[in-house]
Amino acid sequence: MDGRGSLRVGSETHEIFRLDALQDRWDVARLPYSLRVLLENVLRAESETDAEAIAGWVATDEPTALVGLPLIALTELLAEAGLPVLG
């Protein structure tokens, strides 16, 4: 699951992680904005198992924790990023 890309700004090149590169395998466009932000962050950390768990999220599934990231830590991470978290 590799969404790596590059963005050239002036004379500098920056590494970016493109969620649209994952669209063929996962329907990431349907994910809520907060999960897309989280998915990009997980891709940066190169955690493929967690990225697949987020990309394959279905709203009607039972809540689960990401591998190595308890649900409470996930909600705190989103809250610290300034994203609304429903409790």
**pLDDT tens-place string over residues 35-60:** 888 888 888 877 788 888 888 877 67
The DSSP 8-state label assigned to residue 62 in this structure reads P
pTM assigned to the model: 0.60
In terms of Cβ atoms closer than 10 Å to its own Cβ (0-12, 13-18, 19+), residue 55 is buried
pLDDT at residue 33 tops 70: yes
Q: If pLDDT is split at 50, 70 and 90, which confidence band does 85 have?
A: low
Reading the block at residue 16, the tokens are: 């970016």
